[in-house]
Amino acid sequence: MSWEAWFTLAVVILTVALMITERYPPSVVMLAAVIVLFLAGVIDASQAFIGFSSEAPIIIAGLYVLAGAAEATGAMGMLANWLGRDRGERRNLMRLLATTAGFSSIMNNTTVVAAVAPPVVDWARRQRLSPSRYLMPTSFAALLAGLVTAIGTSTNITVSGQMVQAGMAPIAFFEMTKVGLPVAVIGVVVVVVTLPWLLPRRKDAFEEISDDAREYVVQMQVTDGPVDGKTVEEAGLRHLQGVFLVEVERDGDRIAPVTPDERLEAGDRLTFAGNVEMVIDLQKMRGLQSTEQQHFDLGDAGMGQRFFEAVIGVTSSLVGETLKDADFRARYNGAVVAIHRDGERVAGKLGSVVLRSGDVLVVLADPAFRRTWGRRSDFLAIAPLGGTNPIRTRKAWWVYLVGLAIVLLAGIDALPLVKLAVAAPLVLLAFKILSPSEARQSIDLNVIVLIAAAFGLGAAVSESGLAEQIANLFVTVLGGFGARGALLAIFLATMLLTTLISHNAAAILMCSIGFATAAGFGIDARPFAIAIAVAASTDFLTPVGYQTNTMVMGLGGYRFTDFAKVGFPISISVIVVANLVIPLFWPLAPA
């Protein structure tokens, strides 16, 4: 191999390693890798930044806005009414998965799950069912349905962009339906049949708090002593690690939220929420004495306060930080009273816990917390404890009309998908379905930058000769198995890589290798592209390969191994069905 190929291989390995550690946002890692390859002379400027002029990021950004409008207008709020009463677990699952799949076939599945998960959690709790039985299937249905159309998942759009770059026609709107529909239908059936047997019932954060609310809430009374006459700040009650002063009750009146300069008086009843160990420390403070615990409603924590579950995303600035270092209370105007990780509550001093992606923070905050932070990159999803009334407005019909227009016009090739993707936000803004700030917040810039930068890394893998070398290895090893064997190998390699790094990054890297492998066998590369699109969009084995899995892991209280147990039979069905169907519609014929 040339030095360029060896250098590119080293950069790719380092990029994958850094993305696995999650120490830095994937978009930053990918962009840094491309810049290094550009500075080293492996690729020129046009190759390094070709993704930023590609249609793929533009289309994905436009669809993010459409999905954001669906969430803001309550277009997906029909879910709770559609589910209705409890009809038995498997019948509940069929109704839930059919609805989720319908939205996910034309909208970004991450946004769909973020919008659908809170009402599903609320519905399950009202029916006295465990949300853990429904959240993982919701994520899996969104992934499966994303294969049905060209815009169902960002991976399809990304692979289509790679195909255009390689001189092939882009994926037609319903082209993926030939393989995506049978894969999705069979996958959903497998979920409904096997999940009740394979998945243990898990307790989520809300259930654990409800089991023993005294671990989180305590009342103290101000006595004649050091605290009497001092402000909250002066009494040292403002910056207690892991404990939050919810309200002050004085002569029958409640003061909430409590400001730092609120002056305390003897007889005041102070309600604190926090970690049990910190509450014990609080009880040792001079000037305060414990009172009898009053009833504390977790759905309505007090005047102007309520609890939320917030799932930390991979690109969140909180990853790798502690609550203390991030100055969480001042930044988000809320206090974390519990942290859940891998289905269990994290013990110890919460302020010193280093946060990870997928962690669920039980936050006591102002009711506006979800509205303020729900569309920011710090949290994948925010679900209010105690339920919330879904937003339902007449503007939701605009979302249905715009979505239907995209499906019809793209389906008959009346307009290029990129034009429809940029026209949709203009229509939504023109009719004030979304405000400019809401539209901007709907777009996940980290994903856009990641995909655009990954195009440059893919160009380096191809231009340096690395893709050709790896393809030659595939041809040599798999020559006896023929083109079908090579297709299966590329499919499995893509699925494996997706469990380690971002699905879009995995797809772009494997496109370079897959196209070169097809050339080595002297066959058309299109079936390899379709196989990569399917494989990169269907990670059911881990909670880290796809954001929707990370999102529901925390909300459902799942453990890492739960995904492997439930996801294994689904993965097998996807592998078998896809590798049988793809050669039927995209023959492995000479190029």
The answer to the question of residue 416 being in a domain is yes
pLDDT category, 245, cuts 50, 70, 90?
confident
Residue of 38 and 292 predicted with greater confidence: 38
Both tokens assigned to 249: 């009750």
Q: Find, among 383, 382, 424, the residue nearest to 401 by Cα.
A: 424
Q: Is residue 390 in some structural domain?
A: no
- Chain centroid to CA 569: how far? 23
282 and 200 within one domain: no
Quick: pLDDT tens for 534-556: 999 888 888 876 778 888 887 78
Mean pLDDT across the stretch 399-422?
87
Out of 263, 290, 317, a domain closes at 290
Better-scored residue on pLDDT, 488 or 242 = 488
How far is it, in rounded angstroms, from Cα 79 to Cα 487? 39
Q: Residue 385's pLDDT is what?
A: 67
Q: Is the per-residue pLDDT at 294 higher than 50?
A: no
376 and 406 both lie in a single domain:
no
Give the end of a domain, one of 384, 408, 426.
384
Residue 279 reports pLDDT greater than 80: no
**Within-domain flag for 377:** yes
Residue 293's pLDDT band (boundaries 50, 70, 90)?
very low
Rounded to the nearest 10 degrees, the angle between the axes of helix 503-521 and helix 154-165 is 40
Task: Look up residue 542 and give its two tokens.
Answer: 């881990």
Q: What is the mean pLDDT of residues 344-359?
A: 79
Q: Chain-wide mean pLDDT for the chain?
A: 82
Q: Is the pLDDT of residue 305 over 70?
A: no
Taking residues 161-186, report their average pLDDT: 93
Query: What integer pLDDT is reported at residue 298 of this predicted model?
Result: 46
* pLDDT for 302: 47
Go through 155-184 and write b for each residue having 16 or more CB atoms within 10 A of its CB, e for each that does not: bbbbbbbbbebbeeebbebbbbbbbbbbbb
Residues 19 and 106 in one domain: yes
**pLDDT band at residue 365, thresholds of 50, 70 and 90?**
confident
Average pLDDT over residues 267-281: 69
Question: Residue 383: is its pLDDT beyond 50?
Answer: yes
Three-class SS state of 169: coil
The string of DSSP letters for 99-110 reads HHHHHHTTS-HH
The mean-pLDDT minimum among 201-210, 310-319, 579-588 falls in 201-210
| pTM, 2 dp | 0.75
Q: What's the number of domains the chain is made of?
A: 3
Question: Does 485 lie in the same domain as 368?
Answer: no
| 217/27 Cα distance (integer angstroms) | 40
- Whether the pLDDT of residue 2 is over 50: the answer is yes
256: domain range?
210-290
H or E element at residue 174: none
Distance CA 343, CA 34 (A): 37
CA distances from 406 to 105, 415, 425, 441 (A): 12, 9, 12, 22
The size of the chain, in residues, is 591
Q: Is residue 590 part of a domain?
A: no
The reported pLDDT for the residue numbered 456 is 92
Find the range with the poorest average confidence among 47-56, 63-72, 204-213.
204-213
Nearest to 494 by CA among 469, 458, 528, 542: 528
456, 580: one domain: yes
Reported as a pLDDT band with limits 50, 70 and 90, residue 393 is low
Give the confidence band of 233 by pLDDT, cuts at 50, 70, 90. Answer: confident
Residue 337 has pLDDT above 80, yes or no: no
Per-residue pLDDT at 295: 41
Report the pLDDT value the prediction gives residue 8, as an integer from 0 to 100: 93
Please say whether the beta carbons of 237 and 320 come within 8 A. Answer: no
pLDDT in tens, 19-53: 877 777 888 999 999 999 999 999 999 999 998 98
Domain boundary, last residue among 290, 320, 335: 290
Q: For residue 302, is it left (φ>0), alpha (ψ between -120 and 50) or beta?
A: left
**The pLDDT of residue 300:** 46
pLDDT at 33: 93
473 and 431 in a single domain? The answer is yes
* Domain identity same for 136 and 155: yes
Q: How confident is the model at residue 162 (pLDDT cuts 50, 70, 90)?
A: very high
Q: What is the Rg, in whole angstroms, of the alpha carbon atoms belonging to the chain?
A: 26
**CATH number of residue 246's parent domain:** 3.30.70.1450
Q: Same domain for 489 and 408?
A: yes
Q: Based on the domain organization, do 99 and 167 belong to the same domain?
A: yes
In a shared domain, residues 426 and 547: yes
* 559 shares a domain with 524: yes
Ranges assigned E (strand) in 240-329: 243-250, 253-255, 269-274, 288-290, 306-312
Q: 399 by DSSP, 3-state: which?
A: helix
Question: What share of the chain has pLDDT > 90, as a percent?
Answer: 26
Q: Per the domain annotation, does 389 fall within a domain?
A: no
pLDDT, residue 386, reads 56
**pLDDT exceeds 60 at position 407:** yes
**Residue 484 in domain:** yes
Higher model confidence: residue 125 or residue 437?
Answer: 437
What average pLDDT does the segment 246-254 reach? 82
Query: Residues 464-514: pLDDT tens digits?
Result: 988 888 888 877 776 677 889 999 999 999 998 888 777 888 899 999 999
As a whole-number percent, the residues of the chain with pLDDT over 70 amount to 87
Examine residue 492 and state whether it is found in any structural domain, yes or no: yes
Query: What's the CA gap between 176 and 135, in Å, rounded?
Result: 26
Yes or no: say if 223 and 287 are a contact pair by the CB < 8 Å rule.
yes
pLDDT exceeds 50 at position 296: no
Q: What is the pLDDT of residue 580?
A: 96
Q: From CA 506, how far away is CA 454, in angstroms rounded? A: 9
Segment 203-227 shows an average pLDDT of 66
Query: Can you give the pLDDT at residue 181?
Result: 94
Based on the fold, state whether residues 411 and 340 are members of the same structural domain: no
Residue 298 lies in a domain: no
